Amino acid sequence: MKVVASSDWRDDLAFDTPTLVSDVIPGDDTRCSVCGGDSELLPRTELWAVKHRHPKQHDGYVRFYCLAHRPAVLAPPIAPAAPARKTASRSQRIAAPRRPTSVEDRPRAVCPTCWVEVPSTGLCGVCGETITL
């Protein structure tokens, strides 16, 4: 049995980006998650849905906020510019010594009868056929 995550309207929301609830999902009036259960019901055109990150749930979680409690939108961090790399001239690249081919990169001999990799002795360990390397 394969367990997979279900897909719903919350998957389409970007993390930490306020979106009007009326644009995301239709429904009845509801409450702000910060105002609490005793607060008045607000129309979905006045509520903001924000998808937050969670350390143990990779999909995160969604909360509804009124305008007074809506979290501030944080600008994404700007990555520092990478320093300019010095490129070698073509003659320097061509003259550079080539690394020797490792044992893992070389093609290996395979027995045509039983399809087992043959050791360097050239003798198949399964059927005993001699393979020329």
Please name the residue that has the structure tokens 């105002």. Answer: 35
**pTM for the full predicted model:** 0.52
CA nearest neighbour of 12 among 75, 58, 59, 67: 59
Residue 49 CA neighbour count, 13 Å, CB half: 22
CA nearest neighbour of 71 among 80, 62, 81, 59: 62
- pLDDT: is 44 or 115 the higher one? 44
> Taking residues 5-11, what's their average pLDDT?
78
- How far apart are alpha carbons 118 and 133 in whole angstroms? 9
Q: What is the pLDDT of residue 107?
A: 74
Q: What is the pLDDT of residue 18?
A: 92
